[in-house]
Chain A
Amino acid sequence: MDPVLYDSFDRLLSDISTPPVIREIESSGSADALEQQIKESGFADAMVAEDAGGAGLSLGEAFSLFFLCGRHALPLTLAPTIIARAVLARQGVNVPEGGVAISNIPVGHRDNKIECRNVPHGKLVQWVIVPHAGVADAPVDLLLPVDKAERVETGVNASLQVHLSWTDPRSVGVIVEGAYPWLEVAAAVTAAQMAGAMDSVLNMTVRYAGERSQFGRPIAKFQAVQQQLSVLAELATASRVAAELGCQAAADGTPNVLAAAVAKARASEAAGTVVSIAHAVHAAMGITEEYDLQLYTRRLIEWRTDYGSAGYWNRRVGDAVLSSDAPCTMEYMLPTYFPGSASD
Chain B
Amino acid sequence: MLEPLTLTSIPQHAESLRPAVREFVKGYTSKVPLDERARSWMGFDADFSRQLAKRGWVGVTLPKQYGGAGLDAYSRFVLIEELLGNSTPVAAHWIADRQSGPLILKYGTDQQKDFYLPRICRAEAFFCIGMSEPQSGSDLASVRTRATRTSNGWSLNGQKIWTTNAHRSHYMIALVRTSGTSEDRHKGLSQMIVDLSAPGVTIRQIRDLTGDAHFNEVFFQDVELGEDALVGTEGSGWEQVTAELAFERSGPERFYSAIALFDLWLDYLREHHSADAWARELAGRIVSHLVTLRAMSVAVTEQLAQGESPVLAAALVKDLGTELEQFIPHAISEELGRHPGHAVPGGLWRALSYVTQICPTYSLRGGTREILRGMIARGLGLR
Contact = CB atoms under 8 A, between A and B. Distances in A.
Interface string A242-286: 101100100000000001011001100100000000000000000
A344 B316 CA distance: 32
Interface in B248-279: 256, 259, 262-263, 266, 269-270, 275, 277, 279
B287 A237 contact: no
Contacts of A206: 1, 380-382
Interface residues of B, number: 62
A223 interface: yes
Contacts of A225: 382
Interface stretch (A13-21, A298-306, A309-317): A309-317
A188 to B, nearest CB: 13
Nearest to A240: B4
Contact of B284 (A210, A221, A319, A344): A319
Contacts of B259: 328-330
Contacts of A342: 15-16, 18-19
Interface stretch (B91-99, B163-171, B289-297, B349-357): B289-297
Contact of B289 (A266, A311, A322, A327): A266
Contacts, number: 177
B382 A221 contact: yes
A318 B281 contact: yes
Given A266-B288, A319-B284, A322-B283, A227 B382 contact: no
A325 B313 CA distance: 34
A234 interface: yes
B374 A245 contact: no
B18 to A, nearest CB: 4
A41 interface: no
Contacts of B85: 328-331
B383 A221 contact: yes
A318 B282 contact: yes
A245 B7 CA distance: 7
Contacts of B10: 338, 340-341
B284 A234 contact: no
A329 B383 contact: no
Given A226-B373, A229-B382, A322-B266, A241 B288 contact: no
A344 B376 CA distance: 39
Nearest to B5: A241
B86 interface: yes
B229 interface: no
Contact of B290 (A226, A327, A329): A329
A321 B4 contact: no
B285 A344 contact: no
A344 B382 CA distance: 47
A327 B382 CA distance: 45
Contact of A229 (B16, B284, B380): B380
A294 to B, nearest CB: 22
A317 B287 contact: yes
B277 A315 contact: yes
Contacts of A319: 280, 284
Contacts of A328: 85-87, 259, 263
A262 B287 contact: yes
A329 B292 contact: no
> Which among B4, B259, B319, B379 has the greatest number of chain A C-beta atoms within 10 A?
B4
A86 to B, nearest CB: 20
B81 A330 contact: yes
A318 B280 contact: yes
Nearest to A207: B381
A102 to B, nearest CB: 22
A223 B375 CA distance: 11
A237 B4 contact: yes
Contacts of B380: 206, 229-230, 233
B4 A269 contact: no
A83 interface: no
A245 B376 contact: no
A234 B5 contact: no
A9 interface: no
Interface string B132-172: 00000000000000000000000000000000000000000
Contacts of B263: 328-329
Contact of B295 (A242, A269, A316): A242
A344 B374 contact: no
> Which among A319, A328, A333 has the greatest number of chain B C-beta atoms within 10 A?
A328
B370 interface: yes
B256 A330 contact: yes
Contacts of A234: 316, 319-320, 376
Contacts of A313: 284, 288
A342 B74 CA distance: 14
A130 B366 CA distance: 50
Interface string B286-325: 0111111111100100000000000001001001100000
A12 interface: no
A18 B29 CA distance: 58
A229 B378 CA distance: 11
B6 A244 contact: yes
Contacts of B279: 318
Contacts of B233: none
A333 B82 CA distance: 12
Interface in B1-52: 1-2, 4-7, 9-10, 15-16, 18-19, 22, 29
Contacts of A233: 2, 316, 376, 379-380
Contacts of A344: 19, 22
Interface of B: 1-2, 4-7, 9-10, 15-16, 18-19, 22, 29, 81-82, 84-87, 256, 259, 262-263, 266, 269-270, 275, 277, 279-285, 287-296, 299, 313, 316, 319-320, 370, 372-374, 376-377, 379-383
Nearest first, the 6 A-B pairs at minimum CB distance are: A330-B85, A318-B284, A314-B284, A317-B284, A226-B377, A318-B283
Given A241-B296, A314-B288, A315-B281, 7 more contacts: A220-B383, A226-B373, A226-B374, A231-B373, A318-B284, A342-B16, A344-B22
10 contacts: A231-B373, A237-B4, A238-B296, A242-B288, A262-B292, A329-B290, A331-B85, A338-B10, A341-B10, A342-B18
Interface of A: 60, 203, 206, 209-210, 220-221, 223, 225-227, 229-231, 233-234, 237-238, 240-242, 244-245, 248, 259, 261-262, 265-266, 269, 310-311, 313-322, 327-331, 333, 337-338, 340-342, 344
